Structure 1
């Protein structure tokens, strides 16, 4: 008659309220005991029937957990003898795992560039993910035509598996590149060939790729001050020397950039809707910026993150559309026009840069997932994208007007800038002594999401205030949020 033998493992606890499968919990419990030294090499485990009884699971569950550990080499099965901890674990000194972020006696050896970049990075918390007042950078997700998207998704996912599941074109799905080129020509006045369009995993990847391709460590980049935090960190990570260039009612002050760094290598701008001040770069400044880039043999990164949502009078031409000397790299994103979790963006390279950029993409990148690209291509080709843009343009215009109409109660304390595009603006404090950080903390405690203008600054600026998003909030959220904000001034 067989007798029960092997280590007693009743200390393993199974929590049936968790979403995690019971067999996985048992597997992880056994694995932790082995790796932490609770079971030594060569030590025998109880029979699976006994193990199941002690832990309170079915024998099938115990068999599944033990089989996984055998396949990983942590356990050995010996015919007629039982299951044992692998001899490779003999003599191992268990190391108690440190908590994430805990100081280690031996720090990893990082590159000098990474060490320096970590010192310069702007704080970038988790990006917006909940629709409420006054979150920025998040479109009106509840207004997205999900039924049409779901239909296109289902149709594509039922198509040829090689197309859906295989490796895609590193430059982007050809149909999507063509669709983007057509849209840019019709909507943004940009005439480009599909071969100039490169699909990326969001605009942030585009900024990193451009920086890696064009910048040597320490080269100067004109950067709007205040300016976009994501792009700022991307260029810092590539070793750029960011030159803060002021922004006034006409946008980036080109004369200031020339005075500070006439030998700049790159300029980063958001001309259609300055991030975060909501200014529009004047035509005179656009031409001056192009002339400055010509003189310095530099390039301009035009981040047109929400230019499709222009609701003012006649929009000014994009920099790319009036660039006659191949100085502008145009960057767009579907995070604002569709939704952020797509992680799809694109850049339009100057014709002279296409060969070099193609080489980098094919040699070092594998491209972004094909299936969302195919769905977006269909969404554009079938006219849903153009319809959605027109609908949302009016949607954001209406939200903008509601914001200003109800914000009259703030006039003694705050001047809210009128915007002409997108779904955010800024409110300037009329009292220059008001503490921006303290106001943000009070707003957060009251349930509002606000960011201070200072958070976007490379160097401090004179005017203080907050960035106010109105795209993701409902009409009632905007009104209630402004009522709450008014109380913060009392």
Structure 2
């Protein structure tokens, strides 16, 4: 089928609120899945497609990179072509549920739902400015990696990750986060969720207790539940996770999961006193601490200064698994994460990872290693820091002007989002739905709590929100809140 027909819906007015780069990706993916774009079909070059459809080349690069990462297209010296999918994939159609059948396990059916913000609309949390990423530089490193491809890179990747990337990550973390490790302690896995799943399955047994921040990253909670662990929610205050007196004795944990550098979603930073107390507690109880270094890349509290060092760096021999990704520095669809384990546990954890997971993305891993070694990623981080600080300042000012003192603003020391606490008469999920009708996305704070009634607010990402647009978008949020108040 001609590509023009495939992309005819790219400018559909009904999808006007959707980011064009994501729309392009979705249209191409759908055409590949249903066979309208046959295996081997050459896609136009990024410059040509961008010119033909009046869009930025970065948008096309974004769509192509997602398709490449997911295996729908292949890249070679001739450009980009549609990959050959497994038999039975083409022409996928909805399947009917067999009568009376339980398609999922009881454990899976009990997992809390995770709602995703629509596409890449402004205020979607967890997404950096994908248009500002140096896609041209990344593409050059990818092409170099493809030029060096051998049969080994096209088979399963090295267990634990490509040696070049493990070395580069160890050096990067040592320089930026004070993580003390050797490359042998670094393990590369396919995304942050896989890292958390590995921790849950390799370090704990069915029925073991895991402490989770409350509120907590929903995917972390689900990873622990899916592994059969018993979650104990631990309240969070302005200094991070705050275990109640006696909790170590009442519910001794096998695992403690924390986001100390930038608590997700409230944005607090775990104090040094509590970091040391958690370390002492897990060591005394024979447990493990999972340190998810979420959103630590951008330090807004003291621009140019290093944030508090990682817990792992306080006592490198402690039972700490340090987990992180490059989602906020590169793009979420890359799905490359790392785990840093104690030297004394590296062999056993590495063997467990080899038994559970197959490695992949060897070419992308080699490209990422070169990107880290070149210093280009660090330069991109330094360049974007002031941009994000400006956006946060504009967002704070706009929220304060529109909502006033009735709504407290939380977070902002690091990361790419703020939390707007709401009064009880404005339920966050209803407000999110009303705002969606006005073309504004947000995520309800209540989604992150073990009990859905535990919080009421909006998690507002500003990674994809340009400063000039923020006041008008906040005004739409205000209009949505006014409509709820009138209806109530």
Report TM bin, short chain: 0.7 to 0.9
Alignment of 1:275-354 (within 5 A): 275-313=264-302, 314=305, 315-354=307-346
Structure 2 counterpart of 1:421:
414
- Seen in structure 2, the aligned counterparts of structure 1 residues 162 and 127 have a Cα distance that, compared at 3 Å, is farther
Q: 2:112 aligns with which of 115, 118, 122?
A: 122
Instruction: Indicate the SS of the match to 1:391.
Output: helix
Instruction: Indicate the SS of the match to 2:328.
Output: helix
| Residues 427 and 468 in structure 1, CA contact (< 8 A), matched pair in contact too | yes
Q: Describe the superposition over 1:270-321 as per-residue Cα deviations: whole angstroms up to 9, x where unpaired.
A: 0111111111111111111111111211101111122121121252121111
Instruction: Indicate the SS of the match to 2:196.
Output: helix
1:273 aligns with 2:268: no
Instruction: Indicate the SS of the match to 2:321.
Output: strand
Instruction: Indicate the SS of the match to 1:405.
Output: helix
Structure 2 counterpart of 1:408:
400
> Which whole-Å CA distance do the structure 1 matches of 2:191 and 2:317 have between them?
26
1:322 shift after superposition? 0.8
Structure 2 portions without partners, runs of 5+: 8-30, 39-86, 483-488
1:198 aligns with 2:187: yes
Alignment of 1:222-233 (within 5 A): 222-233=211-222
| Residues 152 and 378 in structure 1, CA contact (< 8 A), matched pair in contact too | yes
1:242 aligns with 2:231: yes
1:457 aligns with 2:452: no
| Residues 306 and 337 in structure 1, CA contact (< 8 A), matched pair in contact too | no
- The alignment's TM-score, normalised by the length of structure 2, stands at 0.76
Q: Describe the superposition over 1:25-76 as per-residue Cα deviations: whole angstroms up to 9, x where unpaired.
A: 8x9xxxxxxxxxxxxxxxxxxxxxxxxxxxxxxxxxxxxxxxxxxx99xxxx
- Seen in structure 2, the aligned counterparts of structure 1 residues 256 and 230 have a Cα distance that, compared at 3 Å, is farther
> Which whole-Å CA distance do the structure 2 matches of 1:139 and 1:333 have between them?
13
1:448 shift after superposition? 1.1
> Which whole-Å CA distance do the structure 2 matches of 1:351 and 1:399 have between them?
41
- Seen in structure 2, the aligned counterparts of structure 1 residues 105 and 325 have a Cα distance that, compared at 3 Å, is same
- Seen in structure 2, the aligned counterparts of structure 1 residues 18 and 134 have a Cα distance that, compared at 3 Å, is closer
1:361 shift after superposition? 2.7
> Which whole-Å CA distance do the structure 1 matches of 2:181 and 2:389 have between them?
30
| Residues 117 and 441 in structure 2, CA contact (< 8 A), matched pair in contact too | no
> Which whole-Å CA distance do the structure 1 matches of 2:374 and 2:338 have between them?
20
| Residues 129 and 138 in structure 1, CA contact (< 8 A), matched pair in contact too | no
> Which whole-Å CA distance do the structure 1 matches of 2:420 and 2:297 have between them?
23
1:210 aligns with 2:199: yes
Structure 2 counterpart of 1:3:
none
| Residues 329 and 349 in structure 1, CA contact (< 8 A), matched pair in contact too | yes
| Residues 170 and 186 in structure 2, CA contact (< 8 A), matched pair in contact too | yes
1:179 shift after superposition? 0.3
1:489 aligns with 2:476: no
Structure 2 counterpart of 1:185:
174
| Residues 268 and 411 in structure 2, CA contact (< 8 A), matched pair in contact too | no
| Residues 130 and 464 in structure 2, CA contact (< 8 A), matched pair in contact too | yes
C-alpha RMSD of the superposition: 2.6
Q: Describe the superposition over 1:401-453 as per-residue Cα deviations: whole angstroms up to 9, x where unpaired.
A: 11112222221432112411110110012x33332222122111111111111
| Number of equivalenced pairs | 399
> Which whole-Å CA distance do the structure 2 matches of 1:215 and 1:127 have between them?
32
| Residues 309 and 421 in structure 1, CA contact (< 8 A), matched pair in contact too | yes
